[in-house]
Amino acid sequence: MAEAVRELDKNLVFGARLVARYAPQFAQQTKLIPLHSRHTTATITFMNDQLAILAVQEVMDKISQELQAKVPGMEFTVTYVPLPAIVQRHGLGRGENVLGIEYSKRDLIIAYATLSWLDSEFDGVMETAVRKWVEETNTVSEELGASHPFIYHNFAGSFQDPLCSYGPENVEFLREVSKKYDPERVFQTLVPGGFKVDTDC
């Protein structure tokens, strides 16, 4: 027991050193984010294809230019996160996973849109814009044969259904796990926010 406590203490000290080391860098980056700004996010996934990347970026540029003329202090960024096929397949033979991506033969890219603005007057405009981004980026990806249904949970907008993108078998598995470990449905009914496994797919 004492040895476990000592190991824990060493980890806590190491963690504190990391925070002290990287906090100034994080603070510098967050200076670029206006105080009291409002945010919305959304995400799509598509196959790693040069034309698809350019097309998705063009959609972002077009919508961003439209918003700049309407919304003061608006920021629109898209982050591209690679999801190599070798990483996706890593779960095969190791118990799989519930994301439904382990059978993909192509490298994927997760595009994560973040929109921020200052005034609640523009909430509707910005929410409409992020939905438009999802619709148009999915359309261009489909036209190029590069679309993929996966929706990354942590980046998803409130209007998206990431769990449904895992596939019906995986969603059913999640529901069975929920019934076993949360029979009173505490996490489905009493915990606000998030995406619930009893969603209709």
Tell me how crowded residue 148 is: count the other CB atoms within 10 A of its CB.
20
pLDDT bucket at 104, cuts 50 / 70 / 90: confident
144-148-152-158 Cα dihedral, nearest 10 degrees: 80
> What pLDDT score does 8 carry?
40
Mean pLDDT on 167-189: 89
Contact present, 134 and 157 (Cβ < 8 Å)? yes
> What pLDDT score does 93 carry?
66
pTM given for the model: 0.76
> What pLDDT score does 25 carry?
55
Alpha carbons 153 and 109: distance in angstroms, whole number: 14
Q: Answer yes or no: is pLDDT of 192 > 70.
A: yes
CATH of region 33-189, choose from 3.90.1280, 3.90.930, 3.30.310, 3.30.70? 3.30.70
- Residue-by-residue DSSP string for 57-120: HHHHHHHHHHHHTT-TT-EEEEEEEEE-HHHHGGGTTTT--SSS-TT--S-EEEEEEEEEES-G
Each residue's pLDDT tens digit, 2-55? 454 444 444 444 444 545 555 555 445 455 555 558 999 999 999 999 999 999
> What pLDDT score does 4 carry?
46
If we measure between CA atoms, which residue out of 87, 76, 81, 97 comes closest to residue 46?
81
Q: Can you give the residue ranges of every domain in the chain? A: 1-29, 33-189
Each residue's pLDDT tens digit, 121-158? 999 999 999 999 999 999 999 999 999 999 999 999 99
> What pLDDT score does 76 carry?
94
- Residue-by-residue DSSP string for 50-71: HHHHHHHHHHHHHHHHHHHTT-
- How big is the CA angle at 112 (ends 107 and 113), to the nearest 5 degrees? 145
Alpha carbons 11 and 29: distance in angstroms, whole number: 26
Each residue's pLDDT tens digit, 48-89? 999 999 999 999 999 999 999 899 989 999 999 998 887 767
Helix, strand, coil share (%) of the chain residues, nearest 5: 50, 15, 35
Torsions phi, psi for 41 (to 5 deg): -135, 165
If we measure between CA atoms, which residue out of 54, 39, 68, 61 comes closest to residue 157?
39
> What pLDDT score does 196 carry?
83
